[in-house]
A and B are shown apart, each in its own frame.
Chain A
Amino acid sequence: MKHGPLVFLAAFFVLSTSWFGFVLKPQADLGNAVQETNVVSTALYPQPRPGQAHQGAEVYRANGCFYCHSQQVGQTGVTCDVVLTAPGTNLTAAAEAIAKANPALATANLTELMKKLPANILTNVDRSTADNAMKLLKAPDMKAEVHIVPIGPDIARGWGRRHNVAEDYVYDWPVMLGSQRVGPDLANIGARKPDANWQLTHLYSPQGLVKGSTMPSYRFLFETRKIGRVPSPYALQLTGDLAPAAGYEIVPKPEARELVAYLLSLNSDAPLYEAPFTTPAPAPAQTNSIAAK
């Protein structure tokens, strides 16, 4: 090639293809995402993080927590469960229907099964099998449901109920997905460990709470100070080796409290169109008949 401009054009053209693919198109598709309706409740999702949690995201970023912790739950598949919620008025017919839907249960004690509700008729099947089973579960007043259950190692660990999607990060800046899992994934830590005191103590001394942890301690987020007239309500309750000297208390600095508020706000459990799953039944509400469903 003789010409400089030719090289320039070649490079320009090729780079523009990836620019279109990975910068322009994602921005066009996802860049104007707004809140979606959670498909089963009436809440809008996601909710912007309240004040302290928003500041906590800055502490998370400044201290580079995402270099060891990811915030993206993965999912390797999806299955269905067929669940019986009401056997209906005619128990014999119900037992027959159940045996037809799942031949493996024909020899089981179906009366016991029908007493302990909700009962799994079929577990880990695909959608067509589940639908076929539903067609067979027709007895008078019988009620059964198909539950959508995401599966994967992350989900089996309890790191989340479904995989994360773009909608989960709409209100985050910067989006700190993380690329390493030296420590557990934090996408749903707010649901998994909602105890603020646990989180604070863990930041102060990870090895104190989790034996053998390689996480460094973040004591610079805490202050050791003399107890004043009364102990601070925010002071950490520490025992044994971790406890401060007599007359001193360990008080989290505002950054620590903001960081913990942020961690407690991390919860991406809402079912969405692109990430459907059956939420576990909530506790029956007192005033609203919808929630009792």
Chain B
Amino acid sequence: MNQEPTHSHQQTEANTGQPAVPMWLIGLMMVLLLLGAIYFDNNGGWFDSNVYAPYHNSAELDRYQLPSLGNEQVVLGKRLFEANCALCHNTDGTGKTGQAPPLAGSEWVNAQGSYRIIHIPQFGLTGPIDVKGQTYVIGAGMAPMGAQYTPDELAAVLTYVRQAWGNKAPAVTPEQVSKVRSELSSHPQQYTVDELKKLPEQAP
């Protein structure tokens, strides 16, 4: 049984034919590759991982971005506030009795000059504080929650606080925050309310 196929195997396969691949097939392949390359150029976004169909390239994607609403700082500030501050001060700024004073309508927040208010998140606060006629005392005081932020971020949070929930106070700039931050070496610990009251309203 093994002999017969082997014989024909040698006969039929010893010399497979040698005609070369015809030019028309190679030509067709080249043409298709060219068309494919043109298609890819138009629709492929050139390997940019942000470009999804139907956008053709990243320039087009940029053109169709949403118009800026001009409030990026407040949007960032809101997110950071809700991540870190809302735990004690509540997302609507009403504060928690016994824990944190309200920020909505607070005279400290609404002061024209931002110099004093920057100190609170930057350095922290210890001792009792009067807000809207009520006294708030927290055991360990407020930790310097804003010290972890960059000046841009802390300015964003304070701007948000000063413009949300009916507050109407001017925005805070990163430069103002940096100025306050530079005082860290001379007064590293938490501020007390008396020390705060001694500070001028506007930055010197």
Q: How far is the CA of A91 from the CA of B65 in the complex (A)?
A: 30
Q: Which of A34-42, A114-122, A257-265 contacts B (4 or more CB under 8 A)?
A: A34-42
Minimum distance in angstroms from B12 CB to a CB of chain A: 19
Minimum distance in angstroms from A47 CB to a CB of chain B: 14
With A37-B79, A40-B66, A274-B61 as contacts: A163 and B52 at CB distance below 8 Å? yes
Q: Are A293 and B69 in contact (CB under 8 A)?
A: yes
Which single member of B64, B67, B78 contacts A145 (CB below 8 Å)? B67
CB of B75 within 8 Å of the partner chain: yes
Q: Are A30 and B66 in contact (CB under 8 A)?
A: no
CB of B55 within 8 Å of the partner chain: yes
Q: Are B61 and A127 in contact (CB under 8 A)?
A: no
Q: How far is the CA of A163 from the CA of B79 in the complex (A)?
A: 26
Q: Are A30 and B49 in contact (CB under 8 A)?
A: yes
Q: How far is the CA of A41 from the CA of B66 in the complex (A)?
A: 12
Q: How far is the CA of A276 from the CA of B65 in the complex (A)?
A: 6
Q: How far is the CA of A61 from the CA of B122 in the complex (A)?
A: 50
Q: Are A275 and B52 in contact (CB under 8 A)?
A: yes
Minimum distance in angstroms from A17 CB to a CB of chain B: 14
Q: A148-B66, A165-B52, A293-B69 provided; 15 other pairs, C-beta below 8 A?
A: A40-B69, A41-B75, A42-B79, A78-B64, A146-B67, A148-B64, A152-B54, A273-B50, A276-B65, A277-B66, A287-B165, A288-B92, A288-B164, A290-B71, A293-B71
A-B contact pairs, 14 of them (CB 8 A): A39-B66, A40-B69, A42-B79, A74-B53, A75-B53, A76-B54, A80-B64, A163-B52, A271-B66, A273-B50, A273-B61, A289-B163, A289-B165, A290-B164
